[in-house]
Amino acid sequence: MNNPTLQIGNIELPGIALLAPMAGITDAPFRAIAEAFGAAMVVSEMIASANLVARPSKSQHRELVRKLEHKGKLPHVVQIAGNEEKWLVLGARIAADAGADIIDINMGCPSKKVTNGYAGSALMRVPDRALRLIETVVEASPVPVSVKMRLGWNDESLNAAHIARLAEGAGVQMVAVHGRTRQQFYKGEARWEPVREVVEAVDVPVIVNGDIVDHSSALKALAASRAAGVMIGRGAQGQPWIVGQVNASLKGEQPVPAPVGPGLIALVLNHYEEMLFAYGEKQGVRVARKHLRWYFEAAGLELPGETLRALLTEPDPVRVKTLVKGVLDHHGARVAA
């Protein structure tokens, strides 16, 4: 591929490998690392738009401010979810006022909490309603709007192409498709071939998503779907640099090497500090635990049960950092040996 880029409305992205939104994971500190390593786009965690506007409590307000935060140079993409025009429109406006360059509508979330209110992937069961919501958001949004969806609700209703066509007609500028149905949740394998039907149905860029974890799977997903780009979610856990690496290799460039040894220690400890800063110490220590675990898993480290337990229960961040450094130092020594 010869220096491929993506155009979303008037916004040109520096490549075609994007970080997928993951609630509770792709927060500002995580997105900053993915961006620093060369991801072409990063998306904020989903914001339920009723929460955005309906008199949030103090802690909800802090959470919203944190979710809307943007520091990087890449376009700021804010994802909204909801099922009522009024909240979605206000959510889109608040996101745009907070500096969003693109508003993404979530039509892929399988969670019962979200789908019971006919939001997230449940909207795919009611295309007319989905269209009405999309039209209202596009009309109200001063910035380009994209939609993220699944293949359909279940195998009997693979209607992503139909909904993408409606969305394009309403003015949506990009569509991302997770190659699973809602009924699958995250089980089974993602299917990339059916995404091709969506690619053929619309002229706006379509992004393929699901089980893409490296250059090889990105190439396979692109070949099967003919999509314009790829979106990587869980594959970036414990290795937020992977999106940038895939982006570089798809451009025919040499990817920045994954950090190892002292570089990895510095990155993990810096990420830890950023999480403590973003969430406050008490919550930050808790939020950080899953990331630490993923870093060790991605590095192929099997920690003794006792060490892992200590890492995942220790409330004092200073002690956690010492433990992390010790474990990674030891690992670095083993790698060098």
Ligand X SMILES: Cc1cc2nc3c(=O)[nH]c(=O)nc-3n(C[C@H](O)[C@H](O)[C@H](O)COP(=O)(O)O)c2cc1C
Q: Give the binding site for ligand X (CB under 6 A).
A: 20-25, 45-46, 79, 106, 108-109, 148, 178, 190, 209-212, 232-235
DSSP letter, residue 21: P
Helix (H) or strand (E) holding 239: none
Residue with Cβ nearer ligand X (94 or 327): 94
Question: What are the catalytic residues?
Answer: 109
Residue with Cβ nearer ligand X (244 or 331): 244
Please state the φ and ψ torsions of residue 6, each to the nearest 5 degrees. -125, 140
Residue with Cβ nearer ligand X (46 or 94): 46
Round to whole Å and give the CA distance between 279 and 69: 12
Round to whole Å and give the CA distance between 33 and 24: 16
CB nearest ligand X: which residue?
Answer: 233
Residue with Cβ nearer ligand X (210 or 255): 210
Would strands 47-48 and 102-107 be described as parallel, antiparallel, or unpaired?
unpaired
Residue 58: how many CB atoms within 10 A of its CB? 7
Name the minimum Å distance from CB 123 to ligand X: 12
Residue with Cβ nearer ligand X (98 or 328): 98
* Angle, CA of 34, 143 and 53, to the nearest 5°: 85
What would the DSSP string read from start to end of 252-309? Answer: TPPPPPPP-HHHHHHHHHHHHHHHHHHH-HHHHHHHHHHHHHHHHHHTT----HHHHH
Provide long-range contacts, Cβ within 8 A and 24+ apart, for 63-67: 66/27, 66/28, 66/278, 66/279, 67/27
Name the minimum Å distance from CB 330 to ligand X: 30
Name the minimum Å distance from CB 234 to ligand X: 3
Name the minimum Å distance from CB 67 to ligand X: 10
Name the minimum Å distance from CB 261 to ligand X: 28
Name the minimum Å distance from CB 88 to ligand X: 15
How far does Cα 305 stand from its chain's mean position? 31
Round to whole Å and give the CA distance between 19 and 312: 26
Q: Judge contact between 265 and 332, C-beta under 8 A.
A: yes
Round to whole Å and give the CA distance between 337 and 335: 6
* Angle, CA of 32, 38 and 40, to the nearest 5°: 95
Residue with Cβ nearer ligand X (21 or 255): 21
Residue with Cβ nearer ligand X (120 or 265): 120
| Biggest CA pair distance of the chain | 62
Name the minimum Å distance from CB 219 to ligand X: 15
